Amino acid sequence: MTVQQWTFVIVGLTFCLYIGVAIWARAGSTKEFYVAGGGVSPLANGMATAADWMSAASYLSMAGLISFMGYGGSQYLMGWTGGYVLLALLLAPYLRKFGKFTVPDFIGERYYSKQARLVALICAIFVSFTYVVGQMKGVGVAFARFLEIPFSTGIFVGIGIVFFYAVLGGMKGITYTQVAQYCVLIFAYTVPAIFISIQMVGNPIPQIGMGSTLSDGTYLLDKLNLLSKDLGFEEYTKSGIEDRVNVFFITAALMFGTAGLPHVIVRFFTVPKVRDARKSAGYALFFIAILYTTAPAVAAFARTNLIQTVSNKPYAEMPEWFKKWEAAELINFSDKNGDGKIQYLAANQQNELVIDRDIMVLANPEIAKLPAWVIALVVAGGLAAALSTAAGLLLVIATSISHDLFKNYLKPNISEKGELLSARIAIAVAVVAAGLAGLNPPGFVAQVVALAFGLAAASFFPAIILGIFDKRMNKEGAISGMIIGIVFTALYIWYFKPQLGGPGQPSDYWFGIKPEGIGIIGMLLNLVVSFAVSRLTSPPPLEVQNLVEEIRIPRGAREATH
């Protein structure tokens, strides 16, 4: 069978699996719709959280980024995992004890204020929507490239699948589908990595293989450093000083942003107990770590393989995958010195080869000459990653609209049935809107993802932490902190992102901090302002102080309610 036939078969089978799971796990009440009935086991919730968290970007783009950035790529590895420690230690158990459905629920009640709830609500929708558009685009790209279905048809198929199980099953359907999607994506990610590791260094565990020796007796990383240096690139494992400043800030912004993202936080409302919320965060990170420790190995293998395959080799002898990606305009060769060979160099004037970083994971099995079914598996994994993240985000948007906006703002006496119906309508509208935006994404989508993390770090994270750990924190403090944090972060990102029309130049960065890392300064500002303002205004009412006392101890956790 050809790669394309294999892809049809494997993608088709996985889609049938998701639909089957969705029919089995239908939601019958708002509680099932919002928090899967609150009865998900910590292990299943851990897998679902992992699938929810690992997006098309983690799956398809991250290893490629690392393979071109070397040490610099560490910011994604640490940034997108370290946040779970904060989540497990500082947020998840207390929010589970609080026992409501959403993040705006917590902000609204802890700060006894409808305005605070509204600020949280707008942030939650903004952050989730930017994110989901990127996922939809990822689905379209995967379909277009591998099944040779037009981009738009690919997105419609994606919308159809998510629509089916999200509208039918709500959080319950999404959770159990995500468990299945996790299994598909992790299998699809590790299998090629294991094959390649055996091929290159003779060790079946990529995490160890990365530090092993090649057949000529040199260590893989030493060899890669040498190859990179010969071609004029930085040594792969080396870190410059400017590197370190930005790796520091970006890592921190991604960590605190992770811990503040509503679609991640809400997952911990679905387990039965406080104890389970803690454990579940551990499982989630364990499942995420399997992919995140494999990715840097894939990156190093791919980089070495790529350089050895193309550097200084005659263009006419390039393998089939080279031509294929060239046809897709993701590899570009121009023979500047006319010698018929490929000069792949760091210096722009002599370099003849430009490679799109996003193709590394997809092209890797082909570069390593793995069988066709492995390549098909990678595509199915990419789709699983994109669909599971999209579904989790869409649920946050729908819940925010039906629960926070509709039920708590506009129509408080809506019946259970009415609310369930409005939640279904909201998610249906959200799926279609995200799909349409994915069809025609505004050029700045990729840029705004930085904004999503920055805003989550600068708004939700401090507001929730202070709500739990500082009993004296009042609504004046929290609201002014959130507003200062958001405004500062958004302005800085806008100012220094030419893609958003900002006039700033990189040379004007404050302390050399890139826009991707500024959320952490926004967060500190938020903390300082909240603290100062709260101490100058009156303490929160007694019942709110009692609520804080109450969420600090596990005993008496009720099931999540309205």
Q: Please give the residue ranges that form the binding site for another protein (CB under 8 A).
A: 66, 71, 73-74, 77-78, 81-82, 84-85, 88-90, 93, 207-208, 210-213, 219-222, 237-239, 244, 247-248, 251-252, 273-275, 278-279, 281-282, 285-286, 289, 292-293, 296, 549, 552-557
The nearest distance, CB 294 to another protein, in angstroms, is: 10
Residues 6+ apart with CB under 8 A from 91: 259, 265, 268, 464, 465, 468
The nearest distance, CB 221 to another protein, in angstroms, is: 5
**Rounded to the nearest 10 degrees, how much is the dihedral formed by the CA atoms of 327, 376, 288, 424?**
90
Q: Which is nearer to another protein, 237 or 350 (CB)?
A: 237
The CA distance from 87 to 105, in Å, is 18
Q: Which is nearer to another protein, 51 or 91 (CB)?
A: 91
Q: Which is nearer to another protein, 85 or 318 (CB)?
A: 85
In 3D space, the residue among 424, 523, 382 whose CA is nearest the CA of residue 83 turns out to be 523
The CA distance from 262 to 256, in Å, is 12
The nearest distance, CB 447 to another protein, in angstroms, is: 25
62-69 helix and 360-367 helix, angle to the nearest 10 degrees: 80
Q: Which is nearer to another protein, 7 or 61 (CB)?
A: 61
Q: Which is nearer to another protein, 42 or 435 (CB)?
A: 42
The nearest distance, CB 302 to another protein, in angstroms, is: 14
Residue with tokens 């293989």: 209
Q: Which is nearer to another protein, 78 or 147 (CB)?
A: 78
The nearest distance, CB 247 to another protein, in angstroms, is: 5
Burial of 176 (0-12, 13-18, 19+ CB in 10 A): buried
The nearest distance, CB 285 to another protein, in angstroms, is: 5
The CA distance from 91 to 87, in Å, is 5
The nearest distance, CB 42 to another protein, in angstroms, is: 10
Strand partners, 333: 353
Dihedral (CA of 23, 24, 29, 32) sign: negative
Strand partners, 76: none
Maximum CA extent, the chain: 80
For 422, the token pair is 């409005």
Q: Please spell the DSSP secondary structure of 11-45, one letter per residue.
A: HHHHHHHHHHHHHHT---SHHHHHHGGG---HHHH
The CA distance from 316 to 55, in Å, is 37
Q: What are phi and psi of 410, to 5 degrees?
A: -90, -40
In 3D space, the residue among 151, 128, 170 whose CA is nearest the CA of residue 261 turns out to be 128
Q: Which is nearer to another protein, 57 or 331 (CB)?
A: 57
The nearest distance, CB 195 to another protein, in angstroms, is: 20
The nearest distance, CB 148 to another protein, in angstroms, is: 36
Q: Which is nearer to another protein, 92 or 376 (CB)?
A: 92
Contact present, 292 and 74 (Cβ < 8 Å): no
Contact present, 120 and 100 (Cβ < 8 Å): no
The CA distance from 199 to 193, in Å, is 10
The nearest distance, CB 466 to another protein, in angstroms, is: 15
The nearest distance, CB 300 to another protein, in angstroms, is: 9
For 193, the token pair is 């990595």
Q: Which is nearer to another protein, 289 or 483 (CB)?
A: 289
Residue with tokens 């299943």: 44
For 218, the token pair is 């040199």
The nearest distance, CB 392 to another protein, in angstroms, is: 21
The CA distance from 214 to 205, in Å, is 14
Q: Which is nearer to another protein, 201 or 355 (CB)?
A: 201
Q: Which is nearer to another protein, 84 or 325 (CB)?
A: 84
Q: Which is nearer to another protein, 261 or 285 (CB)?
A: 285
For 41, the token pair is 């086991």
The nearest distance, CB 108 to another protein, in angstroms, is: 25
The CA distance from 295 to 383, in Å, is 17
Q: Which is nearer to another protein, 112 or 219 (CB)?
A: 219
Q: What share of the chain is helix, strand, coil (3-state, %, to 5)?
A: 75, 0, 20
Q: Which is nearer to another protein, 418 or 554 (CB)?
A: 554
Q: On the CB side of 133, how many CA atoms lie within 13 Å of its CA?
A: 21
